[in-house]
Structure 1
């Protein structure tokens, strides 16, 4: 097969940031999503050997933090110190590999904020004046009368307070025309493009006001003190936005700052679009600092059609999802489910459906099939290969499709189409499965002399699986590292420069069995109605084909039993039932669940990948409350029990006659 080289052009460096998160409460799914998204982007660039810096952190000043501290009976600093741990612990659980974590209460940040304020004040970019306006505590922003919606905050809908006081103002209004021109001249600056249009609509349809950048200590004491007036602290947004440059050496380490700035991608939620696409660029312009390359606003996570809200009680706790379903599955769902820029819905039902479809049925099933057949036909080792005299049309086509997706990946990541990139990889996974059905190595094994064709088949499938594991590694690092190890690779972390070279897997290397990477999940059915009792039937006269008194049955009765081959995809014990195992099996045209009393004779991991014989037309029943949609066949003598299988390999769904 032809060797290919580079995947795509790579940047000279990559600096990605998340917003810094308020420490007035524990983190939720919105925080998790943005941080996982940044981690995936950073991980992908690291695999490309691009110098990468990933910054996240916490926003620890402002009225909301002070109010939370007051409510908890502690100081604002204690509130920050206690809450920041929740974020740091969650990032560890989510396998986040950030390079820096900045807290705005750190001296390195406060020093830069004060120096910046003094510099802008000295250049008359900041001035003092009396202000009268409407203030929203939740958003920590002032609004004019015409900004209000039904007398409430236009951003969050909360009631606002009328305030008259002296404050300091940043001359933001003088940059209105410049900002409009900059956005229009740099189409990649604000993404997606409709968010750029939203900002332009804001700038073109109203006169931009100067920004109040202070709060009197008499009203709010928790903040960075203004260097030119000790009676005031800095407005939390002016303080917080500067973290993106203070963390990489602005005014403290010129070499470090020049290395990483301008930022490659600043990830935000759409609810903080104005602060990041109006306040932040005008601040940088006044400071004489280059603009970030891209500010990307993603959508909200909804429950059904409703925005997640603590007050509504519909917020998803990331820790609960991780404990229940695992870190990698949670990361996968968030990346695969949301089209960047649009809103997405999170329900447990949707999570389980995608998990079972993509991870358990597709990726997990293909992994089991490739590893099990390699164990069976190649003595558990990566086979040696040669194309001499072989028909490799199917293999060449599969490899071409696999490498095509790999080569497109860089462009999709660059265009922030992460959901599409994941979908493309899962498309390859499904094609591997289809390929195995078409090549059918179990059929080839029935005749002598097909060893080379079988080896080339399984080697190709394993190579394509290796590529998929590498492309999914930034999304699911733990599981994909386990998959690479199972394929006999000593380096758990992939090297993308070797990604689309055919022949990376070393012949003769022993593979291993990782067990079920993604055990199937079953949710209890809501409002499940009990089955109706069958109506009593009148006694019918005995038919000709009923068993005779000697126990013999007719040919028609034998033919009424539908026996089919099935491949075991997953197996697990049933709580409280020592003898029962719950199996997920592939019948070729469908997946089914069986309950079998074989737990004393087989460990669940021993069953994965086995081809068994099942009664496919048995009426479903419940055993210990678990639904069984068929029955497997087994033979027993005394205390010995063995499953009934077929002679040689055959695909699922074959009729047993």
Structure 2
């Protein structure tokens, strides 16, 4: 496919003062879905996320944890990345605002603003919001509170540098008026215009002297650069922008950004301050900024202090990453806040993923195996009921593309699941179990099942940006591969002369009862209280500090690892864990060893039985989804969302690896 051009998409970088809750993770999940969809369409996509690490809150948290600020943010940044990676994000670059190249460019940008007269030194006396790390005017307050976080600001006085916002205000107003899609949704655009731009912008305070944890102004080092000037510029420094010099190839290729995906509470910073900074740098503005709504927990904004938070790792443990992605993308409206509870996500998983999708794939594959030994063939015995199914399939791609172009992921998912529902209806209309009773209707039955596989394959391909692992699992069961974009508005893409589905369909999503979920969470936290987020941060920071020299282990450390060849004598899927396979191994000791391994997305049980692999045999046993795992097999991660087991088929079981 010919490339449709470069497309740069970013998330707001996550602040590293605490463990990100599921509402924080919604931002990169949404951006990842858009990035994957753009790639599917043929765009050359570059996707960046990362962490925002300077500022007073981190300085205070580090002191409380008895760590230096850098040690603290090393740990918290690693924890943020861990939570993001659990959601299977496909980012190309993870930036940290403590990265050396970013720090140097921010200092150059500040100096450029100062030299050209956009920044001047004065003193500040007014209102400051510690939570948002932003300065406010009385006119911006709502009932005396910060308009973004709802907290009461405090009075602040200190020497500071200021940016002359008035130099660019009218130019920004003109840009917004001439680019009506620049700020999405429209309600955010109206808010920015009516509440901030049209009443007149105050000059923006861009340095602090009361804190030390920040990027110093190199020509006046008692000042550190205001966290938002530091953070916002990550979108260009991460691409290789060089202020006053020759920028890198990535910047030349991908800037301006196609889309900034941010939470609605930081729309002001991204649609007023950031465009003005870019104007001062004489750089083009991003094409679009999407201030998406919040994910509320049981109707309230998530807050660690209030105790109403949910974390990605807990949710993934219970539902798996794709089910969590589905809920976020389906239940996060375009404009109004969404809601999440354990009950709601379980209800959605059971109804949409287990009943509609999982049951469709399972019954289709089962019927093909039962009636035709797993073979799929289009015998071209058409009937009127085929036409409506084909029309639904042909229209689905462009309907989904239209919704995604307007950033409406929930509506796009609705279109995909309308196709899956239509497939279920087609089964009821054609009644394959009745056709199977009449041998003369075998060709018609074969055509019906072919139409089903062909239609599900289209839906599964379109599902990839939303639920990548599930998409791959469905296509593997159908015995096919993702369809190219240019064929997704057509039917009869499955090989007409035949294909073969998997011998045994695997369950995509298990139905769960809330009682079981509660029990599993209780077991997870048995004998210990969940660590407060701050304690979690400190442990992560300390661990990061300890692991700085991990690449330099002694020979005695390596010698302590018992690696040996083992033969896989049996392999079975693990219930309620579609990523896990249960391996029964002969490692030469005469005792069967059981290992649970997360390789199900890449290997079928029949592919592994009889093969020889390498196992770490002296790990402490661990229980995974009810299976006691007595070791770990060696596999390689290619970095391309593919894991390959390291086989040792020509070496006898029990042989030690030295």
Q: TM-score, normalised by structure 2?
A: 0.76
- Tell whether the 8 Å contact from 2:365 to 2:505 is kept in structure 1 after alignment: no
Question: Of 492, 499, 506, which aligns to 2:488?
Answer: 499
Paired with 1:151 and 1:475, the residues of 2 have a C-alpha distance of: 41
Cα distance between partner residues in 2 of 1:517 and 1:154:
44
Distance 1:526 1:474, change over 3 A: closer
Which residue does the alignment assign to 2:179? 186
Confirm or deny: 8 A CA contact 1:47 1:494 kept in the other structure: no
Q: Secondary structure at the match of 1:450?
A: helix
User: After the TM superposition, which residues 112-191 of structure 1 pair with which residues of structure 2 at under 5 Å, given as runs?
Assistant: 112-149=105-142, 151-191=144-184
Coordinate RMSD, CA, aligned? 2.1
Q: Confirm or deny that 1:467 pairs with 2:458.
A: yes
Relative to structure 1, the CA distance from residue 148 to residue 194 in structure 2 (aligned partners, 3 Å threshold; closer, same or farther) is closer
Give the C-alpha shift of residue 572 in structure 1: 7.2
Q: Output the CA distance in 2 between the equivalents of 1:360 and 1:430.
A: 13
Give 1:306's aligned residue. Answer: 300
- Cα deviation, residue 308, structure 1: 1.2
Alignment partners' CA distance in 1, 2:362 and 2:416? 18
Alpha-carbon distance, 1:496 to partner: 2.2
Q: 2:499 aligns with which of 501, 509, 515?
A: 509
- For the pair 1:22 / 2:15, whether they are aligned, the reply is yes
Greater CA drift, 158-167 or 437-446: 158-167
Describe the superposition over 1:452-479 as per-residue Cα deviations: whole angstroms up to 9, x where unpaired: 1011100001111001101111111111
Distance, in Å, in 2 between the alignment partners of 1:317 and 1:526 is 15
164-173 vs 97-106, which moves further: 164-173
Judge conservation of contact 1:167–1:212 (CA < 8 Å) in 2. yes
Q: How many Å apart are 1:525 and its aligned residue?
A: 10
Match of 2:314 in 1: 320
Other-structure match for 1:625: none
Corresponding residue number in structure 2 for 1:339: 333
Determine whether 1:349 maps to 2:343: yes
Deviations 1:423-466 (A, max 9, x none): 11111111111111111121112222111101110000111100
Structure 1 contact 270–297 (Cα < 8 Å) conserved: yes
Give 1:276's match in structure 2, choosing from 270, 281, 306.
270
Q: Larger Cα Rg: Structure 1 or Structure 2? A: 1
Equivalent-residue separation in structure 2 for 1:572 and 1:468 (angstroms): 25
Secondary structure (helix, strand or coil) at the match of 1:229 reads coil
- Aligned partners of 1:411, 1:10: CA distance in 2, in Å? 19
2:390 is matched with 399
CA distance in 2, matches of 1:172, 1:11: 36
Mapped pair 1:65 → 2:58: yes
CA contact (8 A) 1:180 1:203 kept: no
Cα deviation code 1:75-101 (max 9, x no counterpart): 000011111111222222211110000
Q: Equivalent residue for 1:627?
A: none
Q: Is 1:38–2:31 an aligned residue pair? A: yes
1:311 Cα deviation from its structure 2 partner: 1.6
- Structure 1 22/572 Cα, relative in aligned 2: closer, same or farther at 3 Å? closer
Q: 1:367 aligns to what SS in structure 2?
A: helix
- Secondary structure (helix, strand or coil) at the match of 1:454 reads helix
From 241, 251, 255, the equivalent of 1:257 is 251
1:190-239 Cα offsets, whole Å, 9 max, x none, are 001111011111235522111111011xx100111112211211000000
**Quick one: structure 1 residues 526 and 415, their matched pair in 2 at CA, closer, same or farther if it must change by over 3 Å?**
closer
Identify the match of residue 414 of structure 1 among 405, 408, 422: 405
Normalising by structure 1, we get a TM-score of: 0.76
Q: Relative to total residues, which structure has the larger helix share, 1 or 2?
A: 2
Q: 1:104 and 1:355 mapped to 2: Cα distance?
A: 37
Q: Is the 8 A contact 1:61 1:236 kept in 2?
A: yes
Number of matched pairs = 517
CA–CA distance in structure 1, aligned partners of residues 320 and 251 of structure 2: 37
Shift of 1:516: 1.0
- Residues in 1 aligned to 2:129 and 2:407: alpha-carbon distance in whole angstroms: 33
* SS in structure 2 at match of 1:226: coil
Contact 2:393 2:490 in 1 (8 A): no
1:286 corresponds in structure 2 to 280
Out of 35, 38, 41, the residue aligned to residue 48 of structure 1 is: 41
Unaligned runs of 5+ in 2: 519-573, 577-604, 606-658
Structure 1 gap segments, 5+ residues each: 1-5, 528-570, 574-604, 606-657
Contact conserved, 1:117 with 1:227, CA < 8 A, in 2? no
Q: How much has 1:244 moved relative to structure 2?
A: 0.4
Report the equivalent of 2:103: 110
Tell me if structure 1 keeps the 8 A contact 2:128–2:136: yes
Q: Give the structure 2 partner of residue 477 of structure 1.
A: 468
| CA distance in 1 between partners of 2:438 and 2:408 (Å) | 47
Q: Distance in 2 between matches of 1:87 and 1:202?
A: 33
Check the 8 A contact 2:432/2:445 in 1, yes or no.
yes
* Partner deviation per Cα, 1:232-270 (whole Å, 9 max, x = no partner): 110000000000011112116343212101100100101
Separation in structure 1 between the aligned mates of residue 12 and residue 449 of structure 2, nearest angstrom: 46
Indicate conservation of the 8 Å contact 1:483/1:514, yes or no. Answer: no
2:415 counterpart (420, 424, 427): 424
Check 1:508–1:525 CA distance in 2 against 1; reply closer, same or farther (3 A cut): closer
